[in-house]
């Protein structure tokens, strides 16, 4: 099961995490004894296979993956935002172009359905569009002539030929549907008016369940039979055929990804699909805005804030409200830096984008599809972008150039870059399981000693003038660590200052208030303020 970026496995009555994979967004498998496949987001790979002993990652060129369907170990289908892919047991191939894909399901290599912006069917030789609904969230069934679709306002049933039956369910939107393979009965989930909803299907009709979980929405549902059904979203539920149980797993993984300090008492923190506003120095958000991409957030002021995220989504805050802005890419975005209302930069997988005050445009493509994870500048003509593998870029006001290290070693991924002067910049990240730390003196980047078996995600200067880096143990990710250094020459174990959230947490990002009196910090679960 995917848990907001992490992967957890249920076995022998207990849940355990697969810490080998980060940024998991979909998982699929054919059943006991067969391989498990997971869609991942990182700088190099798109998909990974688990054979019972370990994970093996694959690159699928530029196909991209949003969901996976496993018919057999040598017959696996993937659906992306623009393409359909297929695995024949040896290699992945691009099968067909398909725009706006969200979900897929099928019974055989001659009966596969793909849905999202409409519906399409593979009959063994070609893809055929089917008139169903303009926006479909999920699909499931138990036979070629008993297929169910979950749309924004209804459930639809395909019974063969060109026949579709519609079952209005205005009580909830979004969500997922699951059908038991033996009986044709099932469950559908979603949310409405801030409350989760469950519908039970008897094979012909759907009724609203009496059980109302204490959460805002449910995103997915799946089961091995009518006596073992799981529903998940902002909570995790299990149905034993009689009653629902809430597992109460606590705070979700990846609650926060980035933070922007507007002032000493105000900040915006972002996560996968929402932003939270903190005011008056309070560590409880005064408002939560859903539907905003949130892998990275930054602004030039409290009335000019950008937030970016998956599939190239970009949102802007003008001081009063958030709005979605047209993006020139569908690649995931992980970094944003705003200099003025008319100059901002965003980066992610393969692309670097520029805002000119009117629109966003792609201005640079990384040479080998590297991923940009952080952007920072000291002036309009002095901007740095870093990522991996082995990626350092610089903007001099005219062009972006890739910077090569003069003394190596290579194989690093940089997660953050920061500095106050053009001749005093810092970048941190990791190489394997060890943290890496670089300093730019105005002429060259040099690696400084870290002597720490850590992964660094963030770097800033504290209100006391100390340089802070935050991160975690790379493998396994056990807890978040914050280090301080007064000499700025490297990092040693004795520099350890603060242990955050001992129960599996790590430091994601830091942001200083413009006056330098306050540092805001987010772990994946909490927000902290240091003054």
**Higher confidence at residue 345 or residue 480?**
345
Which CATH number applies to 258-530: 2.130.10.10, 2.40.37.10, 2.30.110.10, 3.30.420.40? 2.130.10.10
The span from the CA of 382 to the CA of 376, in Å, is: 9
Over residues 445-475, the pLDDT tens digits come to 988 765 556 677 888 877 667 777 777 654 4
Average of per-residue pLDDT values in the chain:
77
- Least confident interval from 107-111, 428-432, 464-468, 504-508: 504-508
Per-residue pLDDT at 478: 42
Over residues 11-32, the pLDDT tens digits come to 455 544 444 444 444 454 544 4
**Higher confidence at residue 115 or residue 448?**
115
| SS3 category, 311 | helix
Instruction: Calculate mean pLDDT across residues 206-212.
Output: 80
Over residues 62-84, the pLDDT tens digits come to 555 677 888 887 888 888 767 78
Residue 291 DSSP class: T
Q: Indicate the pLDDT class of residue 274, thresholds 50, 70 and 90.
A: confident
* Residue 28: CA count within 13 A, CB half-sphere: 21
Per-residue pLDDT at 501: 46
Q: Indicate the pLDDT class of residue 481, thresholds 50, 70 and 90.
A: low
The answer to whether 256 and 271 have CB atoms below 8 angstroms apart is yes
Q: ω into residue 180 within 30 of 0, thus cis? A: no
Instruction: Calculate mean pLDDT across residues 501-529.
Output: 73
* One-character DSSP codes across 346-369: EEEBSEEEEE-SS-EEEEEE-TT-
Structure tokens given for 485:
């250094």
Over residues 287-344, the pLDDT tens digits come to 888 888 888 999 999 999 999 998 899 999 999 999 999 999 989 999 999 999 999 9
Give the 3-state DSSP-derived string for 111-150, with helices as H, strands as E and coil as C: EEEEEECEEEEECCCCEEEECCCCCEEEEEEEECCEEEEE
Instruction: Calculate mean pLDDT across residues 378-406.
Output: 92
Q: ω into residue 389 within 30 of 0, thus cis? A: yes
| Residue 17: CB atoms within 10 Å | 15
**Higher confidence at residue 383 or residue 521?**
383
The answer to whether 435 and 415 have CB atoms below 8 angstroms apart is no
The span from the CA of 203 to the CA of 228, in Å, is: 17
Instruction: Calculate mean pLDDT across residues 155-176.
Output: 71
The answer to whether 268 and 317 have CB atoms below 8 angstroms apart is yes
| Residue 249: CB atoms within 10 Å | 13
The answer to whether 296 and 336 have CB atoms below 8 angstroms apart is yes
Per-residue pLDDT at 387: 93
**Higher confidence at residue 140 or residue 355?**
355
* One-character DSSP codes across 33-50: TS-EEEEE-SSS-SEEEE
Per-residue pLDDT at 381: 95
Instruction: Calculate mean pLDDT across residues 94-100.
Output: 75
Per-residue pLDDT at 475: 43
Per-residue pLDDT at 37: 46
Over residues 331-389, the pLDDT tens digits come to 999 999 999 999 999 999 999 999 999 999 999 999 888 999 999 999 999 999 999 88
| Residue 509: CB atoms within 10 Å | 26
The answer to whether 482 and 520 have CB atoms below 8 angstroms apart is no
The span from the CA of 279 to the CA of 268, in Å, is: 9
The span from the CA of 523 to the CA of 237, in Å, is: 26
What is the CA 409 to chain-centroid distance, rounded? 29
Matching residue, tokens 């067969």: 34
On the question of pLDDT at 523 being above 60, the answer is yes
Strand order of the sheet with strand 382-388?
A: 371-379, 382-388, 391-395, 400-402
Instruction: Calculate mean pLDDT across residues 220-224.
Output: 81
On the question of pLDDT at 242 being above 50, the answer is yes
Whole-structure pTM value: 0.56
Matching residue, tokens 């629902």: 244
Q: Indicate the pLDDT class of residue 260, thresholds 50, 70 and 90.
A: very high
CA distances from 507 to 54, 180, 234, 303 (A): 27, 41, 22, 27
CA distances from 44 to 94, 385, 449 (A): 18, 18, 27
On the question of pLDDT at 530 being above 80, the answer is no
On the question of pLDDT at 104 being above 80, the answer is yes
Going from N- to C-terminal start, the domains of the chain cover 258-530
On the question of pLDDT at 181 being above 50, the answer is yes
């Amino acid at each position: 099961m995917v848990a907001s970026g992490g992967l957890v496995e249920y076995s022998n009555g207990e849940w355990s995490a697969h810490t080998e994979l980060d940024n998991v967004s979909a998982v699929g498998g054919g059943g006991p004894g067969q391989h498990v496949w997971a869609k991942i987001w990182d700088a190099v790979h798109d998909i990974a296979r688990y054979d019972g002993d370990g994970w093996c990652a694959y690159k699928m060129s530029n196909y991209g993956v949003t969901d996976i369907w496993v018919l057999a170990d040598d017959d696996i289908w993937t659906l992306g935002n623009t393409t359909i892919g297929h695995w024949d047991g040896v290699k992945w191939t691009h099968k067909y172009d398909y725009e706006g894909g969200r979900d897929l399901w099928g019974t055989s290599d001659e009966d596969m359905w793909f849905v999202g912006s409409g519906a399409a069917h593979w009959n063994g030789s070609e893809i055929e569009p089917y008139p169903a609904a303009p926006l479909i969230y999920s699909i499931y069934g138990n036979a070629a002539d008993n297929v169910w679709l979950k749309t924004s306002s209804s459930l639809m049933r395909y019974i063969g030929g060109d026949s579709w039956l519609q079952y209005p369910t205005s009580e909830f939107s979004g969500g997922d549907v699951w059908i038991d393979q033996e009986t044709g009965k099932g469950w559908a989930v979603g949310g409405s008016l801030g409350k989760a909803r469950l519908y039970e299907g008897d094979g012909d009709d759907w009724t609203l369940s009496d059980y109302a979980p204490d959460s805002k929405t449910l995103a997915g549902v799946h089961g091995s039979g009518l006596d073992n059904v799981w529903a998940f979203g902002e909570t995790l539920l299990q149905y034993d055929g009689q009653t629902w149980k809430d597992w109460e797993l606590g705070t979700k993984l990846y609650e926060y990804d980035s933070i922007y300090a507007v002032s000493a008492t105000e900040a915006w923190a972002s996560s996968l699909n929402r932003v939270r506003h903190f005011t008056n120095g309070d560590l409880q958000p005064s408002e939560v805005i859903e539907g905003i991409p949130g892998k990275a957030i930054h602004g030039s002021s409290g009335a000019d804030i950008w937030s970016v995220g998956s599939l190239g989504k970009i949102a802007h805050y003008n001081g009063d409200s958030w709005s979605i802005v047209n993006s020139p890419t569908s690649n995931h975005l992980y970094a944003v830096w705003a200099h003025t209302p008319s100059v901002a930069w965003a980066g992610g997988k393969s692309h670097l984008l520029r805002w000119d005050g009117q629109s966003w445009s792609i201005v640079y493509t990384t040479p080998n599809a590297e991923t940009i994870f952080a952007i920072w500048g000291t002036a309009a003509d002095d901007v740095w972008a870093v990522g991996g593998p082995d990626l350092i870029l610089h903007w001099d006001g005219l062009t972006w150039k890739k910077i090569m290290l003069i003394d190596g070693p290579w194989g690093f991924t940089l997660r953050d870059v920061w500095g106050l002067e053009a001749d005093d910049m810092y970048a941190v990240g990791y190489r394997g399981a060890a943290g890496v730390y670089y300093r730019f003196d105005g002429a060259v980047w040099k690696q400084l000693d870290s002597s720490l078996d850590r992964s660094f995600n963030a770097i800033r200067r504290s209100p006391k003038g100390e340089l802070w880096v935050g991160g975690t143990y790379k493998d396994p990710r056990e807890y978040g660590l914050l280090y301080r250094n007064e000499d700025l020459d490297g990092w040693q174990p004795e520099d350890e200052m603060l242990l955050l959230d001992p129960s599996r947490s790590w430091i994601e990002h830091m942001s200083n208030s413009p006056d330098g009196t306050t540092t805001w910090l987010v772990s994946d679960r909490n927000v902290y303020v240091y003054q």
